[in-house]
Amino acid sequence: MDIVKVILSRRMFVAFVMGFACGLPLLLTITVLQAWMKEEGVDLTVIGVMSLVGLPYTVKFLWAPVMDRFTLPFLGRRRGWLFIAQIALIFSIAVLGFTNPGKNIWMVAFAAFLVTFFSASQDIVVDAYRREDLSDEELGLGSSLYVNGYRIGMLLASGGGLIMSDHMSFTMVYLIMAVCMLPAVLTTLLTPEPTVAAGTPKSMKEAIAGPLKEYFSRQGAILILVFILLYKIGDSMASAMTTPFYLDIGFTKTEIGAIVKFFGTGAVIVGGLIGGILMLRLKINRSLWVFGFLQAISTAGFALLARIGHNVPALAGVIAFENLSSGMGTAAYVAFIASITNKKFTATQYALLSSLIGVPRVLASAPTGYLAKNIGWVGFFIFCTLVAIPGILLLIKFAPWNAKEEKRI
């Protein structure tokens, strides 16, 4: 396989642009909107409750079957829905920009909900399109470019949006962000429709029940779900407490911002790209092994930093290794989830499986403060390292190192 030709292909460009389009709206209803509401004097309790507008991201599998079942009369099965979602998203972002948090918080909530609903709908179709557009060999690199595009979109919306808000109104910020979605719309119009798999659902009953029935008919289906829950659990638990940890051992907020946020963001993007390129050679199964162990080892690096204490070069080294490993692990993780979806029900199965990703981030992170307080930082990060091992060992069952990687469904 010509790696350079694959990297520069139309399919990889589309994966990156669509990732950017999916990442951009996310923080417009969280970070940027929270800053706007605080500036307008909205009560902190209301600002906290406003996070509920993000519910569509969690339950997007509820309407994903509609996008598997019905094909709109223009642009095809995937691009038709994608075009509608993107146009609606552009208008809803603009509408949110014209609301007034200080005078009508209900209108703000309604507009923000529209943004998250159409953003989640875009996510559903983009995930399905990527799975159907890329070959099995290209899923790793394509997923890494999607994830990197997603992170850049988030960075533009949060960092860029907040910086711009110091120099212009929030209304103008949201209008600019709406315009930033236009390249994705143009990409949707120009990119070809992927081949429709045989046996796609012919009724809503089949679109809802079919994905579940097909998935659970596979050998090791439950084990794979357990793996999805556990593969990044150690990484998630450690990440939940890193900011208090940095402050506790003496790093200033400036040092944290410069090294962890700016330098760290670059490292995780580079890690994702390296991981995607390596997956062209290693394939997905072996990548899960290699990147999983690197993730676990990088978590142990925080235990070492806890021993060293306040040391800027040590912090930079730990962050570089951890974020490179995390970027590679995430690329393999996302590629694996995409690879096990059946192309008959891509939208629904991917929405269901990807919703599991957020479960350990929420539930496993809850006791992290208690653990850190009672066993100390060194013990806590060693615990997080050990917690990662069961998820990796599950690969023995469904992704042995020496097994020939079968063509995905």
Q: What is the CATH number of the domain that holds 16?
A: 1.20.1250.20
User: Predicted confidence band at 2 (pLDDT cuts at 50, 70, 90)?
Assistant: low
Number of domains in the chain: 2
Whether residue 220 is found in the same domain as residue 266: yes
Return the pLDDT at 91: 96
Token code pair at residue 377: 């930082």
269 and 180 fall within a common domain: no
Contact criterion met (CB below 8 Å) for 127 and 347: yes
Q: Give me the percent of the chain exceeding a pLDDT of 70.
A: 95
375-387 pLDDT, tens digit per residue, is: 889 999 999 999 8
Q: Are 11 and 142 in contact (CB under 8 A)?
A: yes
Same-domain status, 100 and 228: no
User: Does 372 share its domain with 241?
Assistant: yes
Asked if residue 272 lies in contact with residue 291, where contact means CB atoms within 8 angstroms, the answer is no
Q: What pLDDT was estimated at residue 382?
A: 93
Question: Given a cut of 60, is residue 407 above it in pLDDT?
Answer: no
What is the rounded distance in angstroms from the CA atom of residue 373 to the CA atom of residue 366? 13
Domain identity same for 270 and 347: yes
Q: Residue range 1-11: average pLDDT?
A: 77
Same domain, 51 and 178: yes
Q: For 174-191, write each residue's pLDDT tens digit.
A: 999 999 999 999 999 999
Q: Residue 49's domain spans which residues?
A: 1-196
Q: Do residues 165 and 275 make contact, with C-beta atoms less than 8 angstroms apart?
A: no
Domain boundary pick from 149, 171, 196: 196
> Within this chain, do residues 208 and 162 fall inside the same structural domain, yes or no?
no
Q: Are residues 3 and 61 in the same domain?
A: yes
Give the predicted TM-score (pTM) of the model: 0.82
Spatial separation of the C-alpha atoms in residues 27 and 17, rounded to whole Å:
17
pLDDT tens digits, 293-324: 898 899 899 999 999 989 989 988 988 888 88
Whether residues 188 and 231 fall in one domain: no
Q: What is the mean pLDDT of residues 247-275?
A: 81
Q: How confident is the model at residue 140 (pLDDT cuts 50, 70, 90)?
A: confident
Whether residue 188 is found in the same domain as residue 209 = no
Residue with tokens 């200033």: 252
